[in-house]
Structures are given as C-alpha cells and as structure tokens.
C-alpha cells in the first residue's frame, strides 16, 4: 500500500494501534501535542537521542527493516543503561523516501516495538514525515534513576578497575562479512547479466538464480551487527551485587575511543591489557580470515553496545564473580598516560581510531 493513501495521521494511527503502556509514569502517549510523563518518587530523569541516516549508519541492501528498527531503539536504550538508569519511554521520528510502502514502515516499527517490549519501554510520541531521498530515523529515549545511582563519565579514580561486559569486535567483524558478501553479490549480478545477454536468456531469471550468501558458523557476528542487545542485565547484576560503578559509558564508537573519553572526563590515565580484552572465537577466526589484527578490531570496531565501566579496587572479587564481566586494566594518575600493554609486554599509547561519522 502506498503511504500517500493513508497520509500522515492515517499512518501514525496504523503504526500506533494497540500500543499499550507498560509504565505507570506514562500518562499520555501518542495523540496530543506532547506526551505526558509523571514524576517518579526520588528519581531523576535521563534523556538521550540518536539519529540514524541511510547510507551513513545503515545499508538496506543487507539490513532488514525489522532489525533496523530494533537496533535503532537499542542504541538509545544502551545510552540510558550507560548512566546506570532504567529506560521508560521513547519518541520515534521517521522520514521516508518515496520508495517505501506502508508495509515497509510497519516492519521497521515492529522491530522498534519488539525492542521496546523486551525492555519494558513505552513509545509515547514521534513524527512521521517524508524525505526527498533516503530513510532517516531519530529516536529520543527517556529513563529514570535515583539521584545517587546515576553514573557519569567523570567519576573514575586512580586504582579503579576498568571493566567491560560481553565481548568486543564482533559487530565490526559482522559488518566486514556483510560488506564482503555485498561486493561478491554485486559482481555475481554483473556476471549473470553479461552471461544472460550473451546467451539471449532472461536476465531476471539469471539474477534470481544467484545463491544466497552462506553465513553458516558466522551467525553470531551477523547478530551482533544487526541485532545488538543493550545490557540491561549488567546494570541489574551490578545493582544486585551492591556495586555502583564510579564511571560508565556504552561502547558505540570503540573501546579505545570510549576509554579515552572516561580518562579525559575523569582527568586520569589508564593501563589496559590486550590479553584481557574479551573476544569471541568467531571474531578471532574471522579477523584472521580477513587478515585483520583482532585486537585492533576489538579496540576500535565499535557498535558492540557493551558497557565500559570502572569500579573501586575493593570490588575486584565481586565483579570478577559476575558472569560476562571482565576486568581489563586499571585507572592511573593522569601523568602516567593512557597505555595499552600488548601480549608480549610492550607498552603503547592508546589511540582512538573509532568510527567518526564526520571524518573524511
């Protein structure tokens, strides 16, 4: 169905049908000039926003719209958890090119609703409009946390332990796989076209006969790239263990880049150990296949949406006992610099080579 058949209000009505609010603080969702949110006793509000542009942040040739919707929400929720807070509401703005049908946008929206359901978040508003070109998505997420729980980037202190959740570099390797298969597929299309033309056979049939790429054994890497999961569980486990991180960030641009932010904001140095950086087996195997240094991928890859945080040295035993958290180094005084200690004991200055959407 063409979007113009429904118009803006019709489309919004269709997308937001059956939206149920899971949070008692959501007093009014979609359907007025603003959403209305009730205060929660003793809580402060945290708010974050992210904009995703087609051709810059995502490639619809391999990213299904449902996954894109899911990911667009997750990257925002990840920022909320990175404050040690709990997400409650999001607003969603979408600008659509003319090539999209109502069903496409429903797919995108369904992915968003899935992500919201998994994290008990309400969609309370947004904007749906057209774009002269590609798809643009802008999401704002709102969360709450008790005043004393909120964790900033500037609280890391000398001797604090540097921790990361999960493993790193997998989302980056997933992207490399997808980009390689996209290039291979394009070449196969060109070959099929040439052959069909030479033989006088049907071009479309020839293209349809091209086999789908085989990602067997690499599913985890694709999932990390296409369906990241914000680490609510880590925030919960830390809370249950009675630990409040001294600083925290989510890893969207790459471990190096984020750790340098924490050092800068906390006015401190750091030492991290290459051998302690958590890396999945598939990431390592695939990096080797691509002739890439796996540690470089883990340090600079980005998009893993894991949590990077610091805890007091005294919490060592507790964090080491929490599943899926790894201590990778410690905070030093600022004058000692930011150091990466390689497997063979060499010391390098940590540099941010993370993804920069405005570079070059």
**38: number of Cβ within 10 Å:** 10
Judged by CB under 8 A, the residue of 67, 73, 106, 125 near a copy of itself is 125
Pick between residue 147 and residue 343 the one whose CB is nearest to a copy of itself. 147
Pick between residue 126 and residue 166 the one whose CB is nearest to a copy of itself. 126
- C-beta of 68: minimal distance to a copy of itself in Å? 16
Q: What's the CA gap between 325 and 302, in Å, rounded?
A: 18
What is the Cα gyration radius of the chain? 23
Q: Counting contacts by CB under 8 A, is residue 106 touching a copy of itself?
A: no
Q: Counting contacts by CB under 8 A, is residue 231 touching a copy of itself?
A: no
Structure tokens that stand for 211 in this block: 């086999």
Cβ(105)–Cβ(62) below 8 Å: no
Pick between residue 132 and residue 198 the one whose CB is nearest to a copy of itself. 132
Pick between residue 262 and residue 284 the one whose CB is nearest to a copy of itself. 262
Half-sphere exposure of 87 (CA within 13 A, CB side): 32
Judged by CB under 8 A, the residue of 23, 74, 115, 138 near a copy of itself is 138
Strands 122-130 and 86-96: parallel
Pick between residue 90 and residue 284 the one whose CB is nearest to a copy of itself. 90
Q: What's the CA gap between 227 and 174, in Å, rounded?
A: 11
Structure tokens that stand for 187 in this block: 């070449």
Give 126: exposed, middle or buried? Use CB within 10 Å, 0-12, 13-18, 19+: buried
Pick between residue 11 and residue 222 the one whose CB is nearest to a copy of itself. 11
Q: Counting contacts by CB under 8 A, is residue 1 touching a copy of itself?
A: no
- Using CB under 8 A, which of the segments 29-37, 61-69, 185-193, 228-236 binds a copy of itself? 29-37
Q: Counting contacts by CB under 8 A, is residue 80 touching a copy of itself?
A: yes
Structure tokens that stand for 123 in this block: 């969609």
Q: What's the CA gap between 169 and 177, in Å, rounded?
A: 13
Q: What's the CA gap between 90 and 70, in Å, rounded?
A: 13
Q: Counting contacts by CB under 8 A, is residue 127 touching a copy of itself?
A: yes
Q: Counting contacts by CB under 8 A, is residue 54 touching a copy of itself?
A: yes
Q: Counting contacts by CB under 8 A, is residue 217 touching a copy of itself?
A: no
- Using CB under 8 A, which of the segments 168-176, 185-193, 244-252, 274-282 binds a copy of itself? 244-252
Q: Counting contacts by CB under 8 A, is residue 246 touching a copy of itself?
A: no
- Looking up tokens 């080797």 gives 288
Strands 136-146 and 86-96: antiparallel
- Using CB under 8 A, which of the segments 135-143, 168-176, 179-187, 291-299 binds a copy of itself? 135-143
Cβ(145)–Cβ(83) below 8 Å: yes
Judged by CB under 8 A, the residue of 1, 13, 22, 31 near a copy of itself is 31
Judged by CB under 8 A, the residue of 63, 93, 185, 341 near a copy of itself is 93
Pick between residue 216 and residue 358 the one whose CB is nearest to a copy of itself. 358
Q: Counting contacts by CB under 8 A, is residue 56 touching a copy of itself?
A: yes
Contacts to a copy of itself from residues 141-180, by CB under 8 A: 142-143, 147, 150, 152-153
Whole-number Cα distances in Å, 117 to 7, 87, 246, 305, 324: 27, 12, 30, 19, 23
Pick between residue 42 and residue 217 the one whose CB is nearest to a copy of itself. 42
Q: Counting contacts by CB under 8 A, is residue 128 touching a copy of itself?
A: yes
- C-beta of 39: minimal distance to a copy of itself in Å? 5
Q: Counting contacts by CB under 8 A, is residue 82 touching a copy of itself?
A: yes
What is Dmax (Cα atoms) for the chain?
75
Q: Counting contacts by CB under 8 A, is residue 140 touching a copy of itself?
A: yes
- C-beta of 275: minimal distance to a copy of itself in Å? 28
- Determine the size of the site formed for a copy of itself (CB under 8 A): 72
Q: What's the CA gap between 258 and 301, in Å, rounded?
A: 11
Give 223: exposed, middle or buried? Use CB within 10 Å, 0-12, 13-18, 19+: middle
């Amino acid at each position: 169905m063409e979007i113009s058949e429904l118009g803006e209000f019709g489309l919004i009505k269709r997308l937001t049908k059956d939206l149920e609010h899971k949070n008692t603080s959501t007093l009014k969702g979609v359907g007025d000039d603003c959403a209305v949110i009730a205060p929660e006793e003793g809580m402060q509000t945290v708010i974050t926003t992210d904009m995703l542009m087609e051709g810059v942040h995502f490639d619809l040739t391999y990213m299904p719209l449902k996954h894109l919707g899911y990911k667009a929400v997750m990257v925002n929720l990840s920022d909320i958890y990175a404050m040690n807070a709990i997400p409650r509401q999001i607003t969603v703005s979408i600008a659509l090119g003319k090539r999209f049908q109502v069903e496409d946008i429903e797919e995108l929206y369904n992915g968003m609703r899935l992500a919201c359901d998994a994290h008990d978040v309400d969609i309370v508003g947004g904007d749906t409009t057209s774009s002269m070109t590609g798809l643009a998505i802008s999401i704002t997420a709102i969360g709450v946390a008790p005043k004393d729980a909120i964790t900033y980037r500037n609280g890391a202190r000398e001797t604090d332990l540097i921790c990361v959740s999960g493993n790193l570099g997998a989302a980056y390797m997933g992207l490399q796989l997808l980009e390689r298969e996209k290039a291979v597929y394009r070449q196969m299309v060109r070959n099929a076209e040439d052959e069909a033309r030479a033989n006088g056979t049907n071009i479309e049939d020839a293209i349809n006969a091209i086999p789908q790429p085989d990602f067997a054994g690499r599913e985890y890497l694709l999932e990390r790239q296409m369906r990241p999961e914000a680490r609510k569980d880590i925030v919960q486990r830390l809370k249950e263990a009675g630990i409040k991180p001294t600083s925290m960030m989510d890893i969207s641009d790459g471990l190096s880049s984020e750790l340098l932010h924490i050092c800068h904001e906390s006015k401190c140095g750091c030492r991290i150990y290459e051998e302690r950086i958590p890396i999945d087996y598939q990431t390592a195997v695939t990096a080797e296949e691509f002739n890439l240094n796996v540690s470089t991928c883990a340090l600079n890859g980005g998009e893993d949406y894991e949590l990077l945080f610091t805890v007091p040295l005294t919490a060592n035993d507790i964090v080491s006992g929490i599943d899926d958290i790894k201590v990778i180094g410690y905070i030093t005084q600022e004058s000692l610099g930011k150091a990466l200690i390689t497997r063979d004991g060499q010391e390098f200055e940590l540099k941010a080579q993370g993804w920069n959407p405005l570079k070059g």
